[in-house]
A = this chain, B = another copy of it.
């Protein structure tokens, strides 16, 4: 029941085939280190185009069926026998989503998720591009583990993490693009970002794997320096592996899923929940009726 996972981080340019090639190289490196589930960061085919609002960027979206990078990654997954959650910009009819396809180790797509929580702040203008996802949270049985997959801003929400673990996730994976804030250049959210996800790991007693972008990207006067710091926790929120802010990296860690299951069960948290008291969570304003 041991599984090895990898988190990766890389810089992206407007040369999509170079980005995909780089991601493929990192996946190869991870597989050489015995990783069975390899996480690539959010929207790695291009720069983080949500840095501003340009209608031409809708042209970057593809339907799941016609997505060329996913087809490439299906072949790679099959060849290396690895599970690949792949983030992409999805077009579906008149709607656009920030989506993720889960490719199993045989190359088949076994899960599909549309980012539920959509951020919107200076240089993170995602509400211009994406509708809030309509799939609900997704737990996907893959060859090596049942994985909970969510995307970037989702990682700030304890509700999402809890739902995925209640529904059987043995680990949570978050592809991400986060860095500096043009609204406040003095603000560094790196520790806040890590602490929030370490909290999901500790409270739910599952590992968390996060892959974030590196590099500086600019557009029309906006600039973001993505802070990397990709990481993997154990089942108590402790850091097992952590990348720095600027280096292309492959991190790996191994888990004994049976041990973690027993630990989670013995600790008693999932026995003692009080759903009768949680009704206010189903509102935005905290009302309880």
Q: Which residues of A come within 8 Å of B, CB atoms?
A: 116-121, 132, 136-137, 153, 156-163, 166-168, 183, 189, 191-192, 195-203, 236-238, 266, 268-270, 272-275, 277-286, 288
The residue that A167 contacts in the complex, of B116, B119, B168, B286, with Cβ under 8 A, is: B286
The residue that A280 contacts in the complex, of B163, B189, B277, with Cβ under 8 A, is: B163
Given A162-B159, A199-B198, verify A132-B280 contact (CB < 8 Å): no
Contacts of A192 in B (CB 8 A): 202, 236-238
The residue that A283 contacts in the complex, of B120, B132, B166, with Cβ under 8 A, is: B166
B284 touches A282 (CB 8 A): no
Contacts of A121 in B (CB 8 A): 266, 268
A121 to chain B, nearest CB (A): 6
Q: Measured between alpha carbons, how far is A275 from B237 in the docked complex, in Å?
A: 26
A196 touches B191 (CB 8 A): no
Name 14 A/B residue pairs within 8 A (Cβ), A-sorted.
A116-B274, A119-B272, A136-B288, A158-B159, A158-B199, A158-B200, A166-B285, A167-B280, A191-B238, A195-B201, A196-B199, A197-B199, A199-B200, A270-B284
A100 to chain B, nearest CB (A): 16
A188 to chain B, nearest CB (A): 10
Contacts of A167 in B (CB 8 A): 280, 286
* Most chain B CB within a 10 A radius of its CB, from A191, A285, A286: A286
Q: Given contacts A158-B161, A166-B285, could you give 19 more A-B pairs where the C-beta distance is less than 8 Å?
A: A117-B273, A119-B268, A136-B277, A136-B288, A153-B272, A158-B162, A158-B203, A159-B281, A166-B281, A166-B283, A167-B286, A168-B286, A192-B237, A195-B201, A196-B199, A196-B202, A196-B203, A199-B199, A281-B282
* Most chain B CB within a 10 A radius of its CB, from A200, A272, A273, A288: A272
A195 touches B238 (CB 8 A): yes
A119 to chain B, nearest CB (A): 6
Contacts of A274 in B (CB 8 A): 116-117, 132, 157, 159
The residue that A202 contacts in the complex, of B163, B199, B284, with Cβ under 8 A, is: B199
A277 touches B198 (CB 8 A): no
What is the chain B residue whose CB lies nearest that of A118? Answer: B272
Q: Measured between alpha carbons, how far is A181 from B39 in the docked complex, in Å?
A: 36
